[in-house]
Amino acid sequence: MENAEELFRVAVIGSGNWGSVAAKLIASNTVKQSMFHDEVRMWVFEETLPNGRKLSETINQENENVKYLPGIKLGSNVVADPDLLNSVKEVNMLVFVTPHQFVEGICKRLVGNIRPDAEAISLIKGMEVKTEGPCMISKLISEMLSVNCCVLMGANIANEIAVEKFSEATIGYRQDKEAAQRWARLFSTPYFLVSAVPDVEGVELCGTLKNVVAIAAGLVDGLDMGNNTKAAIMRIGLREMKAFSKLLFSSVKDSTFFESCGVADLITTCLGGRNRRVAEAFARSGGKRSFDELETELLQGQKLQGVSTAKEVYEVLRNRGWQSLFPLFTTVHEISIGLLPPTAIVEYSEHARNLNLLQGAVQLH
């Protein structure tokens, strides 16, 4: 902070389903806590609604995101703004919450246009794959904008938090514990319990990779395989999440997988998430309808992260010759591009062999 008495000003960059709930959570705190400026700006990727009105105008008039979070009041101190650069003016706490595929473009526009003392947090579950290797979204934000970037992930189906049902979340931070505590103060409410761990990569990889496992869980639902099969998929998936994370970053801690961002998010997403839902419909179509088509039909503008993340993970596996070590991740991608039928997710003989390999290759216990 340039001036010790200056209040922290927050902007939420993104206004989808989770972005809108994040704005609501934050707005309920900024009005109560004197360290924060009351107003919360929310950048809106502008669109015209079927009634001809602009989404941002409607949000400001009705205090509701009628497209991505209908029926929920955001708080009168949330101000929607379709102008990205204006939305971050004077802001020193930037909350990134868009589908991961749009972040790089957004950051390019923000370069040179944010406060030098700004700090960031990413609620985005996903990664990018560059020629030099995988790049987590928090690192992309941090490097492009020269800001410290924490992450917040957890068992957080947005529609449930919107109606204030109790849930937990995990902040991952690198060194700046004070910043992590400030983020925790900004997000915590009696129904949204936030804790912080010094493991950015572990927290972010949990949130990212569980979306691939959720696609697998949706496939077994669509094949009517039952609960035992789904539990097996979740167990194998968790094991691959942990092995992949530790191979990429030796600093990732085992304990992170027992936080909300780990096993809890995996469970909620595999039971009730959008990735699961669309994958179920894909399997029920026998793989004949594409994920893109089903996403458009079922989610009405909301975005899946699991299919693109499976592709990104697959690229990493292929580049490093690790495919046979990660049969579930590999199979999800090959099913999603039509190389294998949906039933391949439960053809286990090869998986079992490969899981033994995995145990030998990676220190799992």
Ligand X SMILES: O=P(O)(O)OC[C@H](O)CO
Ligand Y SMILES: NC(=O)c1ccc[n+]([C@@H]2O[C@H](COP(=O)([O-])OP(=O)(O)OC[C@H]3O[C@@H](n4cnc5c(N)ncnc54)[C@H](O)[C@@H]3O)[C@@H](O)[C@H]2O)c1
Using CB under 6 A as the binding rule, whether residue 102 contacts ligand Y is answered as yes
Known binding residue 71? Answer is no
Do residues 182 and 173 touch, judged by C-beta distance below 8 A?
no
The CA–CA distances, whole Å, from 214 to 220, 280, 318, 324, 329 equal 10, 10, 21, 20, 11
Known binding residue 275? Answer is yes
Look up residue 275 and give its DSSP letter.
Answer: H
Q: CA 113 to CA 116: how far, in whole Å?
A: 9
CB of 251 to ligand X, least distance (A): 23
Using CB under 6 A as the binding rule, whether residue 123 contacts ligand Y is answered as yes
Give the strand pairing for 167-172 and 192-197.
parallel
Distance of CA 274 to the CA centre of its chain: 12
Using CB under 6 A as the binding rule, whether residue 23 contacts ligand Y is answered as no
Known binding residue 222? Answer is no
Using CB under 6 A as the binding rule, whether residue 274 contacts ligand X is answered as yes
Closest CA to 159 of 68, 49, 30, 27: 68
Name the residue whose CB lies closest to ligand Y: 16
Do residues 124 and 100 touch, judged by C-beta distance below 8 A?
yes
Using CB under 6 A as the binding rule, whether residue 14 contacts ligand Y is answered as yes
Using CB under 6 A as the binding rule, whether residue 275 contacts ligand X is answered as yes
Known binding residue 166? Answer is no
Compare residues 24 and 333 and give the one whose CB is closer to ligand Y: 24
Known binding residue 158? Answer is yes
Report what 14 binds from ligand X, ligand Y, none; CB cut-off 5-8 Å by kind: ligand Y
Q: CA 65 to CA 20: how far, in whole Å?
A: 7
Residue 89 is a catalytic residue: no
The CA–CA distances, whole Å, from 324 to 104, 212, 240 equal 31, 17, 11
Compare residues 68 and 329 and give the one whose CB is closer to ligand Y: 68
Closest CA to 235 of 215, 208, 217: 217
Report what 239 binds from ligand Y, ligand X, none; CB cut-off 5-8 Å by kind: none
- Restricting to residues 143-172, name those near ligand X by CB under 6 A: 155-157
Report what 97 binds from ligand X, ligand Y, none; CB cut-off 5-8 Å by kind: ligand Y
Q: Which chain residues interact with ligand X by CB under 6 A?
A: 125, 155-157, 211, 214, 265, 268-269, 273-275, 305
Q: Which chain residues interact with ligand Y by CB under 6 A?
A: 14-19, 45, 68, 97-100, 102, 123-126, 156-158, 302-303, 305
List active site positions.
210
